Amino acid sequence: MLAAIGSAAALLAPAVANAELVWNLQTPVTPIARQMFDLHVYIFWVCVVIFIGVFGVMFYSIYKHRKSVGHEAAQFHENTTVEVVWTVIPILILLAMAWPATRTILAMKDTSAPDVTIKVTGYQWKWGYNYLQEGFGFYSMLATPLAQIENREPKGTNYLLEVDQPLVVPVDQRVRLVITADDVIHSWWVPALGVKQDAIPGFVRDSWFKAEKVGTYRGQCAELCGKEHGFMPIVVEVKTKDDYAKWVAEQKQKAAVAANAAK
């Protein structure tokens, strides 16, 4: 595996032009996302150790037990002890992996006691957000101009990962998302928040996150939903409690104005 990384990296050297290379999961900003990150790192290293052990043995054998170096074939073809050993040891390793994963799953599925509840609706091809307690909502659409997609203009920093109106949430609060779709299945995914939940038309599913850092986090629809599947990004802005309250007040006002205009 390392050799493969090495050869790929060597080949890449001239191609490294614009940004630093991506290697790993995005930096997590929620407790669940951090657990996912750590779990991946843990399992990765366990696999690397097993990999080196197993293929160390294989390449030693390939090197030593060749006909061209005059090695005579042994004729053994069974050994109950080793067979039991290499059945039992993997089971123990798996148990060691399953235990922390189980704890994360239970935490991940516990959507109780939210501070803010937002309804997320997937459309072909945009996202709708409704703040259920506050009573307002809006759509969020791709903001990248077509000219950039069609290579007529240089691409911006957040090419394809920018929207006209991001989802805004408060920091350090449990935000519960109730997720559904209007037409086909979509999937709401923001890697840094550790949330990926399919949006299923006619059914409501939920998920939650608690962002621990103010900032802007980007994701994309993760379930093929038609021709513009690649063009319905998700942007979440995490604000301080005060900024969030200010933003909510503004939105409420806007909604009221819009409601009056409609009358």
Report the nearest approach of other proteins to the CB of residue 175 (Å): 17
Report the nearest approach of other proteins to the CB of residue 247 (Å): 26
Of 49, 22, 23, 27, the C-alpha closest to 37 is 27
CB 194, CB 33: distance < 8 Å:
yes
Report the nearest approach of other proteins to the CB of residue 139 (Å): 20
Residue with the two structure tokens 């909502």: 137
Pick one of 30, 140, 187, 251: the residue that binds other proteins (CB under 8 A): 187
Position 19 contacts other proteins (CB under 8 A): yes
Pick one of 81, 131, 145, 205: the residue that binds other proteins (CB under 8 A): 205
* Binding span for other proteins by CB under 8 A among 63-71, 112-120, 133-141, 167-175: 63-71
Q: Using CA atoms, how far apart are residues 185 and 223, in angstroms rounded to an integer?
A: 7
Identity at 178, one-letter amino acid code: V
Pick one of 52, 54, 245, 259: the residue that binds other proteins (CB under 8 A): 54
Residues 90-149 that bind other proteins (CB under 8 A): 90-91, 94, 97-98, 101-102, 104-106, 108-109, 148-149
Judged by beta carbon, residue 98 or residue 259, the one nearer other proteins is 98
Residues 161-180 that bind other proteins (CB under 8 A): 161
Residue 118 C-beta-side C-alpha neighbours within 13 Å: 23
| 112 alpha-carbon distance from chain centroid | 22
Whole-number Cα distances in Å, 77 to 46, 169, 183: 29, 63, 58
